Structures are given as C-alpha cells and as structure tokens.
C-alpha cells in the first residue's frame, strides 16, 4: 500500500501545471535561442516572450510595456522598493509598510534604513488588517512610497488595497503591493485598484520557480536593480529566462481564467477543513481574518504543542504543511506575522498553516481531519504545558 | 533533516510522563523560545531508578529528552552529572546545527532535576 | 528538403543538454517542494540542491559553502561588484575593471560611479589583452576591487587571471572575474587561480537560462543584493529555483568533465573555420588573440559590409551567428569591445561572431564556408565603400 | 523582426548599382553610424529616368534604399522631393522603431542627389 501524500503547502510553492509544463518544454532544447539575437532562433524566443508578456498583461489588466520579468517574487519586491527609494530620494526618504510583510519586503526596508531611509511599520489588528486611519496618520511630507501586501502568506488576510491606493494617490505617493499570494486567489486588476507597482511570482500559481513579474505603471520613476544588457526595455538585465517566462505567461493566464471556479472550490475545501478542525480538536485558534482571507489559507494555533513537531508528525502521515511562512520554518524565531496579530510566543510556536491547491480533494481534507487529532493529542500528552483531566476533559 | 535515530526517538519517545512525588524535578527552557523540558527523577541509593520527561518543543527537543533519559537511567548521580550535550548529540547520531541547543537543554534539564533532588534531600536531612 | 540549420551562436546561449534536461524534469511537476520546507517534499528539493551545489563546487574547485546560486550571470556580476563595493566602502572607493567587460559589469560600474565610487577602465591591446603593468599602475590605496573578465564574450580573448590574482593578493585587494564565457572552454580552479569571486551562468554551458553562480571565497566581505528570506545561507533570497539549480549542477559537472575533449574538438572546428574564411574571402580581419582565445570563438571583421545585413543573410541560409555580443546586436552602436581593440567604426560594424558548440560538426563548418563567401560578396557589391576591379581583383 | 516586404527588398534589392556620368549623385550617412547611402540619378525633362543605389548598412537601410528608388523612378523632381521617410516606412509596411532612421536616410539621399543635380545643371546653365 503506498502511503497517501497530501500536499497542503501551496503557499510555499506549487507543482507546475501540466499545461504550463507543456508550453515551457520546447524552450529548453528546441527553441533555445536568445531573444536578443536577430536570427531565427532568437526571433522564435522573442516571439514567445511577447506572447507571454501579453498574457501576463491581460491577467493583471496592465499594458504589455508595464510588465517586467524578474528572477523571482523576491527580486520584484526588492526592485520595487529599492528602485523607487533610490530614484526618488530627492523628494523624500520615508517609506510606509506593515509589520506583517514578507521578508522580501521587510529585509529590504531594513537595508534601506541603513542607507538613510526612514521606515514606518504599520501595526495590524488581531485579524491581520491594517488601519487606514493609522496609515493616513503615518503619511508625512517626506513619504515617497507605501508598500503594503495584497494578501498575507501566513494567515491569508487580505488588505483593502483599493482604499490604500486612493489614499496614496490623493497624497501623490507611490503605492506598491506584494500580490505574490493574492494572484490566483483574488481578482487583480491594476487599473481598477489604482496601484503603481505590483509583484507576483509564478511558482505560487502553478508556474515555475525563479520567475516573477513587477508591474510598473507607466511614468513611475524607478532605478534599476540589476544592471547590464538592454533586456526588458533596459530596465532588468540578464539573458531572458525564456522557458520560465513562457511558464509565467501560461500560469498567469490560467490563474486569471480559472479564478472564479478555483476560489469557489478552494473556499469550500478550506471551510470544510476549518470547521472540521474546530469540531474535532479543542484549544485551537484560527489565525487570520474570518472572511477577508485567501480562499486556500487555513492557519491554526494549537495550544501546548510546538509547530515543527506537528509538521514532522503530519509529514510521517504523508501530509505536507507548514508552520508559518516557508522562509521562517527553517528558523527558530516564531513568525513575526503571528506575533503582530497578538499571539503569545508559545501560541505562535504552535501554529500550523495548510494552504490548499488545485490538486486537493475532499478526500484529502477528510484524511487530514482523521490524522490531525491523534497527532495533536499525542504531542499534547508529551507537553508539560498541558494536563489531561481524568474525566477526559481538558484543562490547562 | 533529521537522521533515523532522532526520528525514532521523536516517534517513540522513551520514558514519557510524570512521576508523582518525584525525588527531583527540573524544568528548563521557556515557551517564548519554543522549548520546555521537564524532568522527573526517582532516586534510590544515589542511583537514578526512574526518570520521566515531558517536553514542549520540536522533534529534536523531544528526541534529546528521550535519549537523555535512556542514557542516565540506572546511572549514579555523578555519572548523570557528567553527561554533556555533546554526548546527547553523539548518541543521536548528530543534530542539524540550528538544533544543537536542544541537546544543551537536555543537559541542563537533568542537572536542574538533580539539583532539585539535592536541595530537597538536604532539606530532608536538615529537617530529619 | 528541409533547410540546414547551423547554430553557431553558442556564446549568446546554448541548448539545454539532454542529460541536463533529464535531471531537471522531475523538479517541475514531481519533486516540486520548496527546499525551505521541512516536510518530505521540501527535503527532496533540499537534497537536490545540496547535490547540485556539490557538483558546482567540484567543477570550480570550491567548497560547497562558497557556492551561491543567483538568477543569472548578470545578477552574479552585479552582486559581486555592488556587494563588495558597498560592504567595503569604509576601506576605499576605487574599482579597477576593463573597457571590454560585459555590460553586466560595465553598467554596474557606471551605476556605482553615480554613487560615489571611482572606476578605472583599463585599456586592452589590439588582441584584447590587458597590460599587467597598467594594472599595477592603476592600483591606489583606495582600490577595493579588481574585476577583470576571464574570457571575452565577443572576441574570445583570455586574460592572465592567475597573474592578476597574484597582483591583487599582494596588494590586499579583492579580485572578481566574470567567467561566464570561460566556463566549459577553459579549466577553472578557483583555488589555483587564487580568485576571490567568480561568476558563471548555466545557459552558456548547456544548462538552463535564468540561473547563475557566484563563487565567494570564505571570509569575503560582501553585502547582499537581493534581500528577503534565509535562502543561500542568508545571502541571496528568493525561493530556490530547484529545477534550474539541478540543471546548473549537471551542466557544470559535464562542462568540467568534458573540458579536454570538448575544447580539443572545438579548437579543430574553430581553426577549420578561421582558415577557411581567410582562404576564401579577401579583406577580412580576425578579431581577438591568435592563441589566447576561447576554443569556440571565431570573430571576423568583413570590410565594406555591415554586420546585421551579414547576419540576416546568413540566417536566410539557416546559419545563426551574431555581430558582437548578444546584448549589443539589438543596439545601433558598434561593439565597445571592437572599438577598444582599435577597430574603426565601420570595421566594427562589419563584424561577425560565430561561436561553436557541442552540436556543431565539420559539415556545419563546410556549409558555412560554402554560404559565407557569396553572401559577403553580394553585400560588398551593394556597398558604396567597395569597388570591384575589372580584372576580378579587389581594391578599395 | 522585419516584415516580408522589407526582407524581400533586402534579398532582391531593385536598382542596385551606379550610373556612370550621373546627372546627380547624393551620398548621406557615415561609416561611423553604420549606414551610407549613395544615389545616382539620370534625369531628363525634369523626370527621373533612371536611378541606382549603393548602400552600406543593415537590412532596413538596403530595403529603404531599394523601395525608395522604385517610388521615385519615373516621377518628376518635385514629386520625388515630396517623398517623406514616412512614405518609405509605409511602403515597406513598417520598420522596427530603432530602424526608422534608415527611412530618413533614404529621404535625405534622394534629396541630396536632386540637390547635386540642380547644382550641376545650374553650373551647366551658367557655363552654357
Ligand atoms: C561575459 C558575460 N558575462 C555575463 C553575462 C550575463 O549572463 P546572463 O545572460 O546569465 O545574465 C554574459 C552573457 O550574456 C556574458 O557573456
Ligand atoms: C507574500 C510573498 N512575497 C514574496 C515572496 C517571494 O517570492 P519568491 O519565492 O518568488 O522569491 C513570497 C513567497 O516566498 C510571498 O509569499
């Protein structure tokens, strides 16, 4: 009997969609030309790039010349923030972001703080939402950039990006949003939102790893991050990663086309999982917003147990989940996002994130609901923080 | 990430539980750090007759607790005190670098429990 | 009859080697985990990364913890130069490089000049070699970095990197070399050379596009270029591009293993092509060094004709070549490298680069030698700069 | 990169060559810029009876030269002077943005040749 394997870590990364793979494949060994070359091999590659750029533009509601391919979501975030900061430092040195951004944003901001910039990190409420009032109050004459993520990678909370964009526009401040997790799970139309810069990453939407996109609204003043050849209209250098660009194009197209159907299915699976856990396991707390949350995000704190132990036990049962962001699960610190929504250190340590994807089924959910309670129970019995009362009732 | 010995001790930890009216109890770590180890000792004639643990923490913390209890069970107090975190790591066949502090916790936990026993028995001696 | 297609633009990019492709493939759809995840999907990916890193380390003579994966050769170059510059600006602000570097280096240096750094661009002789004497004279107390390419991408000239490393070491200055074109064509052993930082790129050695490596000798002070998660031992953030990393590992292994046999074959094809052109076409000039040149590089100037017209005509005959670097062929300026070796503008405009690869055969060379003379002849007849004498003899 | 019309004119350029003792010769561009266009005119009764060109330059320079010669052949001098680079681009069905300067060169070349013809014929008139 092969063990069941249930992958519910789709916020960390996703498998490449078969249709995406199929379109990428010829660009490794057959149409391998460099798009900058003028011969037929190069023109084939260039043509594929153009088509992919059109698809991404269509998926985001952008113009094709506002779409710039990067080497990752992280690079898109770095570029947006450093590029705007350095290009506009004549106008001011103040940046506003939040305490719950991805490290790609936070560590970039910390780096800028070392180079003469001032950064305000907005608080969030217990559900992970920023306060528009606090945002308004944080704005100064020297504010040149607001960067607030569209949806959080750990707890799935969605921010009011449209209203943030309005505030930013009113004050003449650039607004960037990290939409890496939102893409595919929320409708994104850059013009409707009114955002100036927006980052996405292919590997979160069944595209390949190592390719991102930065949407840059026409007219934005931004420095380059990676200097060199004339690729991406002289704004992002390096031989184009044609196969990955093709993959990003197809993945973005599928994400936009399937959005409604996908989120409907994810929401139903998500709620089955959330309800099932609350029913079966005492002393759990749903992290994130009850309604303004990504359709595929489930994040619980399990009191008295530590997340890694939970993860490894689930892994032995074939269930791949995460404890906080993919990037923090290797670290020892509890997630900055969970602390920002007010969890105690020990509760933050006991968090479990399950992020659903295309491949998941109701059977997967039921399997998790069958495996998870005894695992939580065993670890709680090992825990000195937890005492089981004799009558089978649970107390602390 | 972890070797088979670690995973085996994590999956089937030895000496889990508490000892009622233990001769010595030690608790180290803190929930903030994500690790708490609590050790219960039954000591007779200077020998660790029984030992139990409860641990809140990651797999390597649980495995370190488990193997440590096996290593000191039946040993004299002095032998138990000579146990180092390196011994725990070696017995586990190695731990990833960022997890070595779990073995330190195991060393500290047994020391804390023995210290508690000594304090308690001094108390007994003094009052007896 | 299908037209013969002869790809001789391997310095622009190469097809992915079938063995490389085979090893990469499972990491898109099967072993798709995020290497930072601790579950089994993540561990599979992590394991693949480790193996690839070992292969790259072995191919370069480096330790595994001196190998850092980047999103391209361009990013590796940017990181090396900006990272060292910003991390060491307390010690000095002077950088030495050459006039014939790739744009990834040159534009990075120009960017640094805008940010308070001073850059010396060394001349090269008519063959494209720097003078060690001039290098020595250029060094000042404020010099913190020497960055000189291992081998040039346009004319294939190889620099005396070992001697440059000795000079740098003597003066306590970091030495970086862009070995993107050297890899696979020249033996590279970072310890033997004594280099501090070295860049390579997979797509030049039959690996995938969008993946590079920066070798950073242990103990080098260098800032991050891309900030974010804890990947690459906290030095280069972004979800690891596992499939591409696996591809880079295999490509580097093959490049190192096949080096001797490969360069022997390339040299023989190269010399057949060089000799054939000189025999058949008057008024041509071989650009680059006669002996200190990459085994696969052929670069000629054809007097009286313009490079793009030559390229397009060759392309119509199924031959894919380049006129200068892949990055400049889209531009209107003549190659900075050809000007640096002293060519006039019009001679620089008439340059043709053919860079051989694994797939090329003697038949390919003979096909080129058959197609090229009438093409050059036709364009010369179109050219007002060229007059054919009646006796069939050629004069200007 | 180029459309079929451009490629066709590049591959089979019309009116290539020189005219001996031409009535007007115009040369524009420079080798530094990578483009030189040289136009030879035979003019009778204010009409361009024959035209030839030689061009050093890229495919679009050659195609622009070729199509321009076709467009002005048989036309009056005034008609030829009214030709703009836009007309050349349109006749070619479009050129990539960085190549539009080639069509400008074609416009300048025919103007230069006509100017040379006028100067020469003035000279002839004056001396005749
Ligand atoms: C010498 C040299 N350096 C750097 C690069 C840039 O590498 P990549 O295309 O991977 O960004 C190239 C190729 O484009 C090159 O030839
Ligand atoms: C919200 C968010 N931003 C940025 C990133 C970085 O994207 P990438 O892994 O493509 O660098 C991630 C994922 O890791 C993310 O979840």
Alpha-helical (H) ranges within chain A are 18-24, 26-29, 40-60, 73-87, 103-114, 132-138, 161-171, 190-193, 231-234, 242-257, 259-280, 307-316, 336-340, 345-349, 362-382
**Residues C357 and C368 sit within 8 Å (Cβ to Cβ):** no
What is the helix (H) or strand (E) element at residue B125, kind and residue range?
Answer: helix B100-127
- Give the number of the ligand closest to the Cα of residue C101: 1
**Residue B37's closest CA among B55, B22, B51?**
B55
> What residue owns the CA closest to ligand 2's atom 16?
A153
Is the Cβ–Cβ distance between D16 and D39 less than 8 Å? no
Report the alpha-carbon angle A95-A97-A100, nearest 5. Answer: 155
Residue in C70, C71, C100, C102 to alter for ligand 1 test, most ligand atoms within 8 A of Cβ: C102
* Interface touch D56/C308, C-beta < 8 Å: no
Sign of CA dihedral A102, A108, A111, A116: negative
Q: Dump pLDDT digits (tens) for B5-43.
A: 999 999 999 999 999 999 999 999 987 778 899 999 999
D58 to chain A: closest CA residue = A38
SS3 A201: strand
What phi, psi does D31 have (nearest 5°)?
A: -60, -30
**Length of chain A measured in residues:** 396
Looking at chain A, which residue has its C-alpha nearest residue B52? A382
A250 CA distance to ligand 2 centroid (A)?
19
SS3 label, residue C383: coil
Q: What is the pLDDT of residues D7-63, one digit of tens each?
A: 999 999 999 999 999 999 999 998 777 889 999 999 999 999 999 999 999 899 999
The CB of A14 under 6 Å from ligand 2? The reply is no
Distance between D90 CA and the closest CA of chain C, angstroms: 21
Return all residues near C41 (Cβ < 8 A) that are at least 6 apart.
Answer: A7, A9, A320, C31, C32, C33, C34
**pLDDT tens-digit series, residues C89-119:** 999 999 999 999 999 999 999 999 999 999 9
Candidates A359, A326, A276; CA nearest to A8 is A359
Whole-angstrom distance, CA of residue A129 vs CA of residue A163:
13
**Would you list the domain boundaries of chain C?**
6-14+259-383, 18-257
Give the residue among D19, D91, D81 at the shortest CA–CA distance from D60: D91
Q: Is the pLDDT of residue B127 over 80?
A: no
**Record: fold of A18-257:** 3.40.640
Assess whether the C-beta atom of C153 lies below 6 angstroms from ligand 1.
yes
From the CB of C181, is ligand 1 less than 6 Å away? yes
A345 touches chain B (CB under 8 A): yes
> Which chain C residues are closer than 8 Å to B1 by Cβ?
38, 43, 46
| The Cα angle at residue C62 between residues C61 and C68, in degrees rounded to 5 | 135
* Whole-number average pLDDT of chain A: 94
**C110 by DSSP, 3-state: which?**
helix
Cα distance between residue C24 and residue C35, in whole Å: 15
Question: Which of C207, C215, C142 minimizes the C-alpha distance to C176?
Answer: C215
Pocket test for ligand 2, best of A98, A104, A178, A209 (most atoms within 8 A of CB): A104
B63 has a pLDDT exceeding 80: yes
Among candidates A18, A209, A230 on the partner chain, residue whose Cβ is nearest the Cβ of C239: A209
Question: Cα distance from A76 to chain C (closest Cα, Å)?
Answer: 10
Condensed to tens digits (0 to 9), the pLDDT of residues A277-287 reads 999 999 999 99
d(CA C134, CA C159) in angstroms, rounded, equals 14
- A34, A70, A228, A242: which to mutate for ligand 1, most atoms within 8 A of CB? A228
Q: Are strands C387-388 and C394-395 parallel, antiparallel or unpaired?
A: antiparallel
In this prediction, residues D90-113 reach a mean pLDDT of 93
pTM of the complete model: 0.94
**For strand D24-30 and strand D35-44, is the pairing parallel, antiparallel, or unpaired?**
antiparallel
Average pLDDT, stretch B67-76?
A: 97
Q: Could you tell me the pLDDT band of residue A192, with boundaries at 50, 70 and 90? A: very high
Picking from A303, A306, A339, the residue whose alpha carbon sits closest to that of residue A323 is A306
B21 vs B26: CA distance, rounded Å:
13
What integer is the mean pLDDT of C300-310? 92
The DSSP secondary-structure symbol of A61 reads: T
The CA radius of gyration of chain B, in Å to the nearest whole number, is 14
Residues C198 and C174: beta-carbon distance below 8 Å: no
The domain locations on chain D are: 4-118
Asked whether A182 lines ligand 2 (CB < 6 A), one says no
Copy the structure tokens of residue A378: 């065993």
- d(C-alpha C69, C-alpha A267), whole Å: 37
- D4-118 topology per CATH: Sufe protein. Chain: A (3.90.1010)
Mean pLDDT (whole number) for A245-250: 98
Collapsing DSSP to helix, strand or coil, C14 comes out as: coil
Reply yes or no on whether the pLDDT at C10 is more than 70. yes
Residue range C6-14+259-383, CATH number: 3.90.1150.10
Positions of A annotated as catalytic residues are: 327
**Closest residue (by CA) to atom 10 of ligand 2?**
A73
CB-nearest to A306 from B2, B16, B57 is B57
pLDDT in tens, C150-181: 999 999 999 999 999 999 999 999 999 999 99
Q: Which of D10, D54, D98 is facing C383, going by the closest CB pair?
A: D54
Q: How far apart are CA C354 and CA C298, in angstroms?
A: 5
Q: How far is B2 from chain C (nearest CA, A)?
A: 10
pLDDT of residue C390: 38
A201 pocket-lining for ligand 2 (C-beta < 6 Å): yes
C150 vs C148: CA distance, rounded Å? 7
- Please state, in angstroms and rounded to a whole number, the distance separating the CA atoms of residues A282 and A294: 24
Residue C74 Cβ contacting ligand 1 at under 6 Å: yes
Which string of DSSP letters, residue by residue, matches A37-52? --SHHHHHHHHHHHHH
pLDDT of A329 > 50? The answer is no
Banded pLDDT at B97 (limits 50, 70, 90)? confident
Give percent of chain D above pLDDT 70: 97
Mean pLDDT confidence for A141-146: 98
Share of residues in chain A with pLDDT > 90 (%): 89
Does the pLDDT of residue C396 top 50, yes or no?
A: no
- The kind and range of the H/E element at B37 are strand B35-44
pLDDT, residue C174, reads 98
Q: How far does B87 lie from chain C, in Å, by closest CA?
A: 26
Mean pLDDT across the stretch A80-107?
97
| C-alpha A204 – ligand 2 centre gap (Å) | 8
User: Which pair of tokens denotes residue A355?
Assistant: 């992020």
Residues in contact with C22: Cβ distance below 8 Å, sequence separation at least 6, in sequence order: none
* C-alpha radius of gyration, chain A, whole number: 22
Distance of alpha carbon C371 from alpha carbon C318, whole angstroms: 10
Task: Say which residue the tokens 């290539």 belong to.
Answer: D16
DSSP A7-60: E-BTTT--PPPHHHHHHHTHHHHTS---TT--SHHHHHHHHHHHHHHHHHHHHH
Contacts of C384 (CB under 8 A, 6+ apart): D27, D36, D37, D38, D54, D55, D56
Mean pLDDT for the stretch of residues A266-271 = 98
% of chain C beyond a pLDDT of 70: 95
Contacts of C316 in chain D (CB under 8 A): 7, 11
| Model confidence band, residue C283 (pLDDT cutoffs 50, 70, 90) | very high
Q: Do A306 and B35 touch, CB atoms closer than 8 A? A: yes
Q: Which of B12, B18, B57 to mutate to test the interface with A (most CBs of A within 10 A)?
A: B57
**Residues C291, C180 contacting (CB under 8 angstroms):** no
Question: Chains B, D in contact: 3+ Cβ pairs under 8 A?
Answer: no
CB of C38 less than 8 A from some CB of B: yes
Contact (CB<8Å) A36/C239: no
Structure tokens at A390: 């004799």
pLDDT of residue A166: 98
Q: pLDDT tens-digit profile of C346-391?
A: 888 899 999 999 999 999 999 999 999 999 999 999 999 887 543 4
Q: Which of D1, D10, D58, D97 to mutate to test the interface with A (most CBs of A within 10 A)?
A: D1
Is the shortest distance between the CB of A154 and ligand 2 below 6 Å?
Answer: no
B33 is known as an active-site residue: yes
Q: Determine if ligand 1 sits within 6 Å of the CB of residue A238.
A: yes
For residue A171, the SS3 value is: helix
Return the ligand 1 atom nearest residue C75 CA. 11
- pLDDT given at position B128: 46
Which residues on chain D are in Cβ contact (under 8 Å) with C380?
Answer: none
Closest by Cβ to A334, choosing from B13, B34, B55: B34
Please give, rounded to a whole number of angstroms, the shortest distance from the CA of B9 to a CA of chain A.
12
Q: How far apart, in Å, do the first and last CA atoms of chain B sit?
A: 52
Question: How big is chain D by its Cα radius of gyration, in Å?
Answer: 14
- Ligand 2 atom nearest to CA at A104: 4
Active-site residue, from D3, D33, D49, D122: D33
Classify residue B119 by burial, with Cβ atoms within 10 Å: 0-12, 13-18, 19+: exposed
| pLDDT value at residue A389 | 40
Mean pLDDT calculated for residue range B103-122: 95
CB D88 within 8 A of CB D68: yes
- The predicted pLDDT at position C324 comes to 59
Nearest CA-CA distance, residue D82 and chain A, Å: 34
Confidence of residue B98 (pLDDT cuts 50, 70, 90): confident
When pLDDT is averaged across residues C39-55 and rounded to a whole number, the result is 96
What is d(CA A269, CA A113) in angstroms, rounded to the nearest whole number?
A: 42
pLDDT: which is higher, C385 or C194 = C194
**Cβ A15–C37 below 8 Å, yes or no?**
no
CB of A203 within 8 Å of a chain C CB? The answer is yes
Tell me if chain A has a CB within 8 Å of the CB of C32: yes
Question: Is-contact C213 C76, C-beta < 8 A?
Answer: yes
Least confident stretch, A8-22, A305-319, A359-373, C376-390: C376-390
Predicted confidence at residue C388, as pLDDT, reads 54
Helix %, strand %, coil % for chain D, to 5? 55, 25, 25
CA distance C147 to C122: 10
* Residue with CA nearest ligand 2 atom 7: A73
Q: Which tokens hold the place of A99? A: 């305490």
Q: Is A38 on the interface with D (CB under 8 A)?
A: yes
Identify residues of B whose CB sits under 8 angstroms from chain A CBs.
Answer: 2, 7, 10-11, 13, 16, 27, 31-38, 54-59, 61-62, 98
How far CA A110 is from CA of A92, A146, A243, A307, C29, in Å, comes to: 17, 15, 34, 27, 36
Report whether residue C180 contacts ligand 1, using a CB cutoff of 6 Å.
yes
**Is pLDDT above 70 for A159?**
yes
Q: pLDDT tens digit string along D63-92?
A: 999 999 999 999 999 999 999 999 999 999
List the catalytic residue out of D25, D88, D91, D102: D102
Instruction: List the 217-246 stretch of A: residues with Cβ below 8 A of C.
Output: 224-231, 237-244
D28 three-class SS: strand
Please give the Cα distance from C187 to C189 (Å, whole number): 7
pLDDT of residue C8 exceeding 50, the answer is yes
């Amino acid at each position: 009997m092969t063990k069941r394997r249930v992958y519910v870590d789709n916020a960390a990364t996703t498998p490449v969609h078969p249709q995406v793979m199929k379109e990428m494949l010829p660009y490794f060994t057959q149409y391998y030309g460099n798009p900058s070359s003028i011969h037929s091999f190069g023109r084939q590659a260039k043509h594929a790039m153009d088509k992919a750029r059109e698809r991404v533009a269509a998926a985001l509601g952008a113009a094709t010349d506002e779409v710039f391919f990067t080497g990752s979501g992280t690079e898109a975030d770095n570029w947006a923030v450093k590029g705007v900061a350095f290009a506009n430092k004549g106008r001011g040195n103040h940046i506003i972001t939040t305490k719950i951004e991805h490290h790609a944003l936070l560590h970039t901001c910390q780096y800028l703080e070392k180079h003469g910039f001032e950064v305000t990190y907005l608080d969030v409420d217990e559900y992970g939402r920023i306060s528009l009032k606090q945002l308004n109050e944080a704005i100064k004459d020297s504010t040149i950039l607001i960067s607030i993520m569209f949806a959080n990678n750990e707890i799935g909370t969605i921010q009011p990006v449209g209203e943030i964009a309005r505030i930013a526009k009113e004050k003449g401040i650039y607004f960037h949003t990290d939409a890496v997790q939102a893409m595919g799970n929320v409708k994104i139309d850059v013009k409707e939102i009114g955002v100036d810069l927006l980052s996405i990453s292919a590997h979160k939407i069944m595209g390949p790893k190592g390719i991102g996109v930065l949407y840059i609204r026409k007219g934005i003043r931004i420095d380059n991050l990676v200097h060199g050849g004339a690729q991406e209209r002289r704004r992002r250098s390096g031989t184009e990663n044609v196969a990955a660009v093709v993959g990003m194009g197809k993945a973005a197209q599928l994400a936009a086309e399937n959005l409604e159907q996908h989120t409907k299915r994810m929401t139903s699976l998500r709620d089955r999982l959330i309800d099932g856990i609350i029913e079966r396991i005492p002393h759990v707390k749903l992290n994130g917003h009850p309604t303004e949350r990504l359709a595929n995000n489930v994040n619980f704190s399990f009191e008295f147990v530590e997340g890694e132990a939970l993860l490894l036990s689930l892994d032995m049962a074939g269930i791949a989940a995460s404890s906080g962001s993919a990037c923090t699960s290797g670290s020892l610190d509890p997630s900055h996002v969970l602390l920002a929504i007010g969890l105690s250190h020990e509760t933050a340590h006991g968090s479990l994130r399950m992020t659903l994807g295309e491949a998941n089924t109701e059977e997967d959910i039921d399997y998790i609901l069958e495996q998870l309670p005894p695992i939580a129970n065993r670890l709680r019995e090992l825990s000195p923080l937890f005492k089981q009362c004799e009558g089978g009732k649970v107390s602390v | 990430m972890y070797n088979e010995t670690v995973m085996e001790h994590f999956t089937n930890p030895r000496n889990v539980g508490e000892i009622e009216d233990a001769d010595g109890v030690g608790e180290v770590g803190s929930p903030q750090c994500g690790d708490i180890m609590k050790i219960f000792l039954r000591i007779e004639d200077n020998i660790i007759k029984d030992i139990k643990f409860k641990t809140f923490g990651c797999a390597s913390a649980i495995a370190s607790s488990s193997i440590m209890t096996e290593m000191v069970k039946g040993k004299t107090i002095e032998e138990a005190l000579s146990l180092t975190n390196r011994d725990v790591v070696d017995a586990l066949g190695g731990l990833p670098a960022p997890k070595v502090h779990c073995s330190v916790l195991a060393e500290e936990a047994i020391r804390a429990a023995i210290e508690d026993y000594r304090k308690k028995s001094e108390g007994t001696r003094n009052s007896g």
